[in-house]
Structures are given as C-alpha cells and as structure tokens.
Structure 1
Amino acid sequence: APAPPSPAVAPPLPPLREPLAPRQVRSASGPAPVPEATAAAGPNLVERGIAYIRQWFTRGNVPVKVGMLVLLAGVAALLKYGSDAGWFSFPPAFRLAGISLAALAGLAFAWRKRGSHRAFALALQGGAIGVLLLVVFAAFKNHGLIDALPAFAISVVLIAGLCVMAVLQESRTLAILGVLAGFMAPVWLSDGGGNHVALFSYYALLNAGIFAIAWVRPWRILNLLGFAFTWGIGTLWGVLDYTPAKFASTEPFLLLFFAFYLLLPLLYARRAATPGGARIDGCLLFGTPLVAFSLQAGLLQGERMPLALCALGVALLYAVLARALLGRERLHLLAQGYAILAVGFATLAVPLALSAKATASVFALEGAGLVWLGLVQQRRLARWTGIGLQLAAAFALAVGIDGAHALRGGAEFAVANAVFMGALLIALAAFASAWLYRGAGNRPVAVIAYAWALAWWLGNAGTEIARFVEPRSVLHGMLLLLGVTGWLAAEVHRRRPALALSLTTLGGFVLAFPLAFMQVAEHGQPFAGHGAWAWPLFAALGVRSLLCLRSAGDAIAGPAQLAWWLLWPTVLSLLSWHLGKRFELAGGWVGMLLALPWLLLAVLSLRRWHWLARPLGVAFDRYRPILQAATFAVLGLWWLVSLASAGAAAPLPWIALLNPLDLAQLAALLLAAMCLWSADARQRLAGLRLGLLPLAALVLVSTITLRAVHHWGGIGWVSGSRRGQWGLWLAGAILMAVVLAKLLLIDRGNLGDLLGIGAFIAY
C-alpha cells in the first residue's frame, strides 16, 4: 500500500538570532556618533518580545510546536482526571514509572530525528524533558514517593542534560527552557527549610552552567535570565530573611555571583563580535556593579569604612580590566566602560568613607554610563534608562537629606562629606551626559542636561558655602563661586565651543551686580572682610575667562566684556559711597567720589578706547556705542540727582565752579558734549546736541547760582547788618535782588515742574 502523504511542513529555519542594535559605521578616524535625531529607532523590549512570539508561532514546524504544548497540557490534565476518577488501579509509583518510560522513549526518538527533522526533534525533546520534570514534581509533592534531595538531584540531571542537548544542537530555545526550569526548580521542590546556603550553592552551580554555555555560544538571553533570577531572588531573600548573623555564609556567594556577571559581558563581547567591533551588553556591564554594590551596602548595614574599601577595590578591579583591554581594538568600547566604572567607584569611595549615602551616587554614575553606551550603540532604551537613573539619584539624595541638619552644618568636614559628594556626582554625571549628547548632535537634550547639571553644581556649592563658611563671609564665597564657575565654563568653551558655556560665563558677570549690592546691604561695602581678596581673585578669574572667550571667537564674548566693564565702576562707586560715609565727608566730596569711576570710564571710552577693547580687540568696537550709552545714562542719572545737593566742600570753603561737585558735574557735561560731537555720533545724535546740551548747561548754571546763594547769599547782608556797614549790607541786598529778578523773569515759567518750584522754595 502506498505510504500516506506526509503533512505539509514549513522548511526548518536556523535558530532565531537576537535582534542587533543598529550599528554606526565609523571611519578610521572615528568621527562623533550620528546625531540621535537621524538614527533609526530600534524596537523596544515589548516589541521584540511580541516579534519573538509571533515568529515562534508562524515559522518552522508550527503544528509540532503547538501540538507539543497542547500535549503537555493534555497529559497533565489526563493524569489528574484519571487519578480523581479512579481510572488507574495501579500504584502511583507504577503510573509515574510508565509515564517516565514513555517520555524517555520520546526523548530517544527525538534525538535520533535531530538531523532530518530538526524543528520536530527539538520540540519533542523539550516536551519530553518537561514531562520528566512533571513526574519528579508529582512524585515529590503529590505522592511523597521520594524525598526533597533525590528529587532535586534528578531535576538537576534533567536540566543539565537539556542544556547539553541545547548546546550540541545550537538550540537557544532548549537552553532557555533549561535555564527557566533550573531557576524554578528550588521553588517547586522547596520543603520550606529555608537553607540559603543550599539555595545559593545550587544557583552558583546553575550560573557556572550559564558561564560554560557563554564560553561557546553568544546567547545573551541566557545571561539576562541568569542575571534577573540570581539577583532578583537573592535580593528578595535578603529583604525577607537576611540577618547580620548570616553575613559570613552570604558574602562569599555575593562575591561569586559578582565574578560570574563581571566576566559574562567580556565573554559575550568576544563571542558576539561584529565586523566593526565587539558588542557590549550594557545591562550586565553597568547593572552588575549597581546591583552588587547596593546589596553589599545592605549586607554591611551602615558600616561606612568597609563599604568605602569595597568601592575602592571595585575601582581597582575595573581599572585593571580597562588597562588590559585598551590595547585591543575590538574590545575598545568595553575598555571604556570599565574605565568609567573605575573612575566612578574611586570617586564614590571618598564620601563612603564618611557617610553611607551610596545609592544616589551609584545611580548617577550608572546613569551616565548607560547614556554613553546608548549613544555609542544607538540604543534608545539604554539612553532613557540612564536619564531615569540620574533623576532617581537626585530624588534619592533629596529625600535622604535632612534640610534642617544641612543648614545647621552638622557634617564634620566641608566638601569631604556624603551630601556634597553625592550631589557633586549627580552634577558631574549630568555634565557628562550633556557632553555626550552634544557630541551626538542632539543639542536640545544637551542643553537641558547642562542646565540640570549647572543647577546641581551651583546649588550644591552654594549650600556648602552657607553651611561651612562664617556668616559674614558667605556672600564673598558666593562671589568666588560665580567666578570659578564662569572660568571653568570658559576654559571648556575654549576647547569645545558651546553657547551654553559662554552664557554661563556671562551669567557669572551679570550676577555679580546684585551680589555687590547685597554686600553693601550687609557689610556697608563690597570689599569688607574677605571681600578685600575675593574681588581681586574674581577679577583675575574674569580676565582669564575673557581671554578664553576671545580664543573661541564666540558671539557672547562681546556682551561678556561689556558687562565686565560696567561691573567695576559699579563696585568702585559703592566703595566710594562707603568711604564718604565712614570718614564723614561733605556731600560734595561724596557726590564727586560716586561719579569718579564712571567719569574715568567715559574718558577711556572717548580718548583711550583701545584700552577698553582688550582683550577682545577690534571685535569689541561695535559695542562701543552701547558702553558709552550705558556710561552716560548712569552719569546722567547721577547728574540729575546731584542737582538737589548743596555741594558742601568742607573742610575746604565752598567756591563756585571750584568745588568737588560742580567740577564733577561740569566734567560730566563736557564729556557728554565730546561724545555728542564725536565723529561716530554726528549722524545719530544730531538732535540732542542742539536741544539737550544747552538745556543741561542752563540747569547747571541755575543750580550753581542756587548753591552760591545757599553758601554766600546771606554773608554780605548778615555781616553788614551786624557790623553796621551800609556798603556791605547793600551789596548783599543787591545780590539777593538779582537772584529774585532771575526768578521772576526767567524761572517763573518753570513753576509747573519740580525744578522751578524747588528754585522758588530755595530762595
């Protein structure tokens, strides 16, 4: 009889490959990564899982795959139903033995068919091993035919055999089934004894198997499953059952698991290499130290110095690995990742030696590392995970800080304390992320990251100054913080120009204005106390910052130099005000001292512009009108306010036009005339020359006349009256009459404004 036609079976396909992240093509010179905006977005974890399930159900020998799943469920249901209905009169041991023999026969048959019917054979092998594991479970849990130890040993043998078959046949699906069954075996075969040494010993054996598979097969999914189950179940046990008495029996397993997952990324990078270089498993590379160090902190339970030594040891280990791999071109990215971790843990050791604020620092460092890896390998999930870790670090640190304690200065040492170092690491991680995103061409994210980092830097340093600097010197410390921040930004800007960096320097100059007024409000002058050296140091940092901005050729260099030249007359005027009040100088001297710095700036802008143009040079010429306008605006305001001053010149006698205030006002008027009649201003300010200057001159003459009356008006009249000298009395009366005539003939038309009213009241 002819053989029955075989069912249509789709041709077998090779094992399913892991989806590769889009790899960036680089030239020999290694340009910056492709901007994120143009990079193709890879599938996320959920999409990859759905694609894997769809592929499993639509490719290969689908009837066999589905049929094996249905068969397992059907056998289990049949056994339960038959047992409940009393169908089987055989003892449980015979029933389970029969099922085991059938499963072994199916396993042997599937092994023989592995060459001709690969998909069918693999599915049948997995199903047979699954049936055998169910038999072991039923014999132990349901019928009590075997004890826990034999059941566990048989399960280990079955799982190991399944993994060996998976490696020999290059079937990742069988390997996944074996790993899942291996990690779940202690759960379904547990007798409730709670022996953590036995549990971790078994997991160590299982991880050794994963390590052996990774030695010959680059199956990343096995590494991730082992990572998730090992650390997940270990963390759960630690939360629920760990006590300090179990430290000695737990610490060796922590170190062993750390060693496994420290080396697995290296094996994966070597085995899963592509023509452009090795592939990096960022989850294991950065996740292993993150989880292991957090668990180590939990085991030590607040013992800061041992934890600091652990961080230092981990840093040394990663430094050795980075040094060993730097010379290998294919593993260069992995070496960079090790170097980042080495620097991070070495920095982390400092605050840990003084405090237990570890979690936030670890999150910040790991977040920066994941951002770097995500940009290099163009993995969006890694990038956003890194950003999320940095935000979590900031939240953890903010929640863990006792604000009242921080303001009281409860820490023992400035800078070398956990709060400062933790916030500093958050700022540095954000600065690194901004640098990486800028290199990748994603400017918006880079600017946001830089602003976040700058806020943490200024807030952290400002808080530290408020906590540890004496109250009278806090504002001086804030001034130095602005100077140092602007200088550092300018130095980086000189090497890698960026608008945000130059704006930081400009912001430091601008914020110095209100800071100077705050110093006056608190101390009377900017240079009080430590301000005597804080301002010169700020000046040195500012000059260096301007030189850096000039070298970079940035558009912000001009506004920064403009703010710089307007700052110093402001500061010197505030100092002059203080000196006049302290030495009880007359009003005329104080007024002149206030105007003197601005008069000097006006003279330099008119006659020695090349002095002010330095260090920017010719490029600063277009800011000359703005600087002159600001200078004369300040002088004009001072000039108007000074009109109400009597201009006393004590201890010198008051002499019209030769007293300090009159000379300063005349100088301001003369400099304004020079500016209005200069070659640059002839076209722009032609209308002001004929209207503003004559009016100002008339007002000044009137003011000088009023001051003369104030100081001299009563001298002749009173002296002549007292001495009985008719001529002297008449001269004084005539002078008063002249002033009255001027008021009636000239100034009476000004009774509608304050100056005219003031003239009549003063008379």
Structure 2
Amino acid sequence: MDELVAVGLVALLALLAMPVLLVVALVKLSGLRQRVEVLERAVSRRAAEMPAEAAAPATAGPPAEPDDAVAAEDPAPWVPAYASQPRWSPLAETPATRSRTTPVEAAAETAAETAEPAGGDGEEAQAPSMPPPLPPSPAASPRDEPDWVERGVERVKGWFTTGNVPVKVGMLVLLAGVAALLRYASDQGWLRLPIEFRLAGVAAAALAGLVFGWRKRDSHRSFALALQGGAIGILLLVTFAASKRYDLLGAGPAFAISVAFIAGLSVMAVLQDSRTLVILGVLAGFLAPLWLSTGGGNHVALFSYYAALNAGIFAIAWVRPWRVLNLLGFAFTFGIGTLWGLLEYRPEHFASTEPFLLLFFGFYLLLPILYARKAPTPGGARIDGSLLFGTPLVAFSMQAGMLPGQRMTLALCALGLAALYAILAKLLLPRSRMALLARGYAVLAVGFATLAVPLALSARATASVFALEGAGLVWLGFMQSRRLPRWAGLGLQLAAAFALLTVGFGALDHPPAALPFANAAFMSGLLVACGGFAVALLYRRNAGDGMAVTAYLWGLFWWLLSFLREIEAFADSGERLHWILLLVGATGWLVAEYHRRSPARALALTTLVALLLAFPLAWAQWSADGQPFAGHGAWIWPLFAAFAARALVGLRNASGRVAGLAQLAWWLLWPTVLSLLAAFVGERFVLADGWVGMLLALPWLVLAAVSLRRAAWLAPPLGAGFAPFQAALRLLVFLALGLWWVLMLFHSGHSAPLPWIVVFNPLDLAQIAMLLLLAVWLRSHRAAAAGAGSLPVVWLALAGLLLVSVLTLRAVCHWGGVAWDADLPGASLSQTGLTVVWSLLGVAGWFSGSRRGHWGLWLAGALLMGVVLLKLLLVDRGNLGDLLGIGAFIVYGLLCTLVGWLAPVPPRRAAMGAATTGSEGKG
C-alpha cells in the first residue's frame, strides 16, 4: 500500500498547484477589467461631448465659466483635442498620476491637459485630430530567454490550462482517493463490509467508468481516453491489493487478470489510435511480473510472458508505426533480461534461456523493417537507428556473457550475424525507399565480420588486422565519397589499440628468446602506428588537415609507445635515457624529411618538440650519471646533433615561426649541454667554485659574443629565415647569463690552485665579461632604437655597483680572513670597505660628471655619496669604537671635501647659468 500512498501524495500536490494558478489568473483578470472600465467611461464621455462641441460656434471671446453643478460633479471638465494637440490615451499614465489619482481621475486629468483652449480658426478648431498609433505596450517588449525554472513553471501551467483539465485532475484525485481509501479502510476498519466486497465495489465502479469512457470515445475523445486509462489503472491497483495485500487472489490468477486488463487496454489503444493508452499498457505489462512476483525465480515463465508481450508489440507495429512503443519494449525486455542474467544466470540455464534470446533478437531485428515500411518519408523510409544498431550489440553482448571463454563459438556467432545482415542488406538494397536501412545492415555485416577476427585469432594478430582493415576502409570511404566506411575505419583503429591494450601491451611479457624489435608485440604496435599515419595521409589528401592531425598524433603516439616499450624491455636501466634521446632525435629527423617533400605544420611542430625534449633529457642524464655524455651518450649526442641539423634543413619549407623556434631551440641546447658537462668536470677534478662558475658561463658568453659580433654565423641552416629570431636568441642568452650572474654573487669565487686576486680571478672576470657584453648589447639596441630612454643604463650601473660591492666583500673574505657566510656583510671590515669603495665611486662620478659636463653622471655620484652618508649615520656609527669605523668617516669626509673643491656646481646648472648670462648680455 506504500505505492498507493505515494500516488495519492502526487495527486494531492498536483491539486495544491491549482488554487495558486487560479488566483494568479483572477488577479490578472481583475486588473484587465478595471482598465477596460476606465476606457469605457472615457470613450462614453468623449462621445457625449463631441456633438455639443461640434454645434457650438467658434468665437474669439473668453471661454464660458463652467456650471456649478457640472463643476461639482467633474472638477476636470472634458475638453476635446484638436489637430494641433497630441492624442489622449486612456491607458497612458505617468508615475505622478499613478501615485495620486485613481484610474478615472487620471484619464480625466490627462484629457484636460491635452485639450486645446477655446477659440481659434473656425474649421481647423472644429476638426478633431487623427489619433497617432498607441505606444508599444511594455508587455510586448522582448524578453530574455526563460530559464529552466520558468520553463518548468510554464509546462506545469500548460498542463493545468490545456486539454481536458477537469478529467486530468479528476483522474489524479480518483487514483489518490482510491489508494487512500484502501489504506485508511485497512488501518481504521471503519467499513464493516468485508474487504472482498469493498474491492469488488471499487472494481465495479472502475469497470463502469471504463464502459462509459469507451462509449464516449467519439464525442469526447480526450475525456474518454483519460477515463479509460484511469479505470484500467484502478483495476490493476485492485488486483494488486487483492493479491499482495489481502491474499484474496493467488499469484497466478492475479497475473492472468492483469494480463487480460493490459491486453484489453492495448486493444483499445490500437482501435482508438492512442499512443498514450498503449504506452500505459506496455508499462503496466512489463511491470506486472515485478509487482506480482512471489520470488519463485521461474525465468521460463517470466520470459514466456515477455515473449507474449513482445508478440503484441510486434502485432501493433504491423499496423501502427509507434516508435516509442518499440523502444519501450526493447528497453524493458533486454534491460530486465540483463538484470536477471547478472543476478541469477547459471551455465545450466543456457538451454532454457538461449531460445528466448534468439526469439527476442528476432522480434527487434524485424521491428525496424516494419517501422520503415509503415513510416516512410518523402525521400525514403524512416530509420529507427536505436533498434537497428542497439539490438545486435545488446544481444551479442548477452550471448557473450552466456558463453564465457568460448571464443571460437562467439566467432561463429559473429560470422552468423554478419551473414544474416548481409542477406538483409542484399534483399533491401534494390528497394529505393529501403536503401538507407540496407546500408545500415551492410555496416553491421562488416562490423560483425570484423569482430569475428579477434574472437578467432590472438589479440596481437587482431590488432594488426584491424589496423590494416581500418586504413583500407578509410581509403574505400574516400574512393566512394561515403562517410560511413570512413567512420568504420576510424573505429577499427580504436579497436586495434584496444586489442593490444587488453593483452597487456605494457606488461613486457616477452618470451625469453625474443629479440629487440623482432617480436610480435612491437610489430603489432608498429602496424597500429602505420595505420594511423596512413589514415592521416588519406584525410590530408582528401579532407583537409582537421582529422588528419588527430590521426597523425594517434599514429605518433603508438610509434613512440612501441619503441619506448622495447627500450624498457631490453635496455639497461642506466642506458635508457640515451636510447630515448636517440629515439626522439630520429623521430624528429624522419618527420622533417617527410616535411621537406610535403610540408605540414604538424610535422614541423613534431621536430620542434623533439628538440625541446632534449633539454629535460639532458638534465635527467646529468642527474642520473653526472653528465650527459656518460656511457652511450658519448656517441648518441653527436648522432642526435647530426639528426637535428638535418631536421633543420628539412624545415626550410616550414612556416617561419615554427622553423625559427626550432633553430632557436637548437642554439640554446648546446650551451645547456656543455654547461652540464662543465659542472661534471668541476666535480670530477675538484675545482674551486670560481673555476666551476666560469666554466658554467663560458658557453653562454661565447654564444652571446657571437650573436653580437658574428650573427651571420648563427643563421645556417635556415639562413635569412632565422633573422627575426636573432633578437629572441640574444634575449634568452642574456636572461640565462643574468640568472647565472645573480646566483654567482653568493659565491666567494675561490680560484685555487691559483691565488685569488681581485678582478683577476675566473669568476670575477666572467661576471665582468657578462656586464661588458650586456653593455654592448644595450648600446647597439639604443643605437637601433633612436630616442630610447636611459633606464637600461641605470640598471646596468646599479648592476656594476652591486658587482663592485660583492668584489669588495670577496676581498674582505680572501685578504681580511673573514669567513664567507651570512655574518660577512655585518663585519666591521666589510662595512668600512664598502664605505670607502662607495665613496671613491661617488667621488669619481661626481668629479668626472663635472669635468665632462655630464649632468647624469654628476647626479649619480652625488646620490651615491648621499647613500654613503646615510650608511655612516645608520650603520657605521656603531663602529666608531674601532679604527675601521673611524677611518670610514674620515675617508668619506676627505673625499667630500675634495669634490667640493674640484666640482661644487652641477654641470647643467653651470651651463644654463652661462647661457643665461650670455643672453642677457646680448639683450
């Protein structure tokens, strides 16, 4: 009875929505009625006054005073509008009038305001103006697209406001009432009649309603159909209650009665051409065994009943093309059958289950033909694709579940299905209206013939066959200008990959005697890759680059996966990175060679990616072996260089950006590799950090110098095509050098076994060289871009000041014996040294700027001296207790005094003053 209560609650909720909708409708009707009343009053008053106004002569005198009685009744007398006045609209209103007047008063006031004063030219004053068109109603303005909430409300509202609303609501209420009555009568026992009589009375009332609905099927169709469906629903509920709730009927009689009701409902639906009734009957028919089940588990009886139902559906499909009925039968038949198979099927059930599977397959094999025959379109038959393709796939999947491990039997089943669909295609193909359906059968025939291959052969052989067959189907599709073979070919490519993966393609299950690259697994993967490349080539030649790129990437993936699997299976763990590098280089070269003959952007990008992958591989080799050239790397890296150089030659026909980026990566790769080798050399020979730092930067310094002074050397093999990327190369080189330069500031720069001499040591020289090259680059850049600001020069000067400060700290470390650690900058000797060096630099800039008339240099020296003064006051003041702190103050004072004597005035101001004096003298 819980189901009955649920139905009752749904009905009551639907009823609760009715008053809300009725209230909304009444409110809207009330507002419309008020507006209509205002309009009617205004029109009647205007009609009453128009004759008097037309009869009154036009005089030039002042208008007559209104009568007191009229004024008392209507404080705003009506005055007609003439041709020069705008038309009054009784529906027009302003926010002001809306807030302070009633609708009638607002109409009167609007008319009074728009009326023309009495007097004027005779005939013109008497002729009323033609009303202009009404302004558009706000309700007619375009609205945004309603959201899902509004659409849901509209649908509920439409259900309650369209069709035969009373009978809909009545059936809902009746079902809810019957369910509640049965439950309440059972719980409370208010009715003294036995339950048999009560159920019989309800059934009698339902039968009476059914007969009445049948008799009214012509005069009141909507009412009759709803009444019939509700009556059958009540009869089914009574049967269910009598069987499951009160044990008045056995399962067998209840089931037979339910079948009779459902069959009668289906017959009535066909006779009245009502899909609603037949859907209700099908749903009730398929669900009847579930709600009347006793748990006995007799699958033969269940499937026999479903066979009878499907026979009924087949009979209906013979006369009515109702696709929804076919889909419902298919979903329930195979859905419940699959559920039973997962839960209850045992191998001993095969003999009693296989006939039903074949019978159901036969039903839904023929239903698409009946549907196409009964539902033609102007261009041919209408195709039910869901049943056309869903039936064989579901049925064969269920057959495979019933025959686990019997591959050859399933292969024969697949061949049988292929032959069956081929026969159907042959029979239907001559009929023009059935040509599309015949093509679908032909596709299924090819598909099941293909499916027989993996079932009869090994998975690796299957992958090979699928890959080649898929490429062949794509070729055939382009030759015949048909999409279906092409799609089937793409599907076979995926099937080939799936066949390889299902046998553990990545599990390295080589036999002991297997040879590298000469084994079935590698050959199968290679064939899949070749199939993908073939499909890419076919699409590129016939359909553009869209699908061609996808197929190419698919083939490239299997190409690399096959080789990587061989490397993992046969190469030593310490050598795998070298073989991967060789694979990447060879792939980039082969792709570039093909690109040379048939340029394509995807091919050029592959070569670019191959060059970019060399960077992480080099770092991985350095991390694993200490250097990239260990082991086989000694000959693989030169071979990779040859592959890459030849690949760049093949990219000459590529778009400038991809080819230029590839050569850019090429020139950046070799300093990276040599720097990693330098790190290994420093570690191998236990060199000091100064030497190691210099060796790390040496390849980059050389590349920077060549790019600045001999840029033509970097142009081959692209030649002029690489010219736009020369600036990017310089930028990246100097970014790398800048990162190195900053990191080296934190190193002491030991030069053992040579003694450390400030400036003349490896690290200092390398850092100074980097700044000099940067100055040359900025100078050339400023010369090329006239009018460039001095901001880069300022940053270069700050970098020089930072390097001089670090050199001072290094001198304190090496000559003063202070350890190079975090406490070094705070040492008294370090602070004094920085003060003296900064003061000397400030004085030099101050003096040189003054002598050369360079305002910027003079200002820089002055600012530096100001910074030193702040440093003395804030930092060095704490060191006044020792000689170093005192010396810092003294040196700074002397230097400032010297500058004040030699160059006290800023050069620009002095020049400006002289110029001013000269101009005054001339004046």
Indicate the structure whose relative CO is greater, using CA pairs within 8 Å and at least 6 residues apart: 1
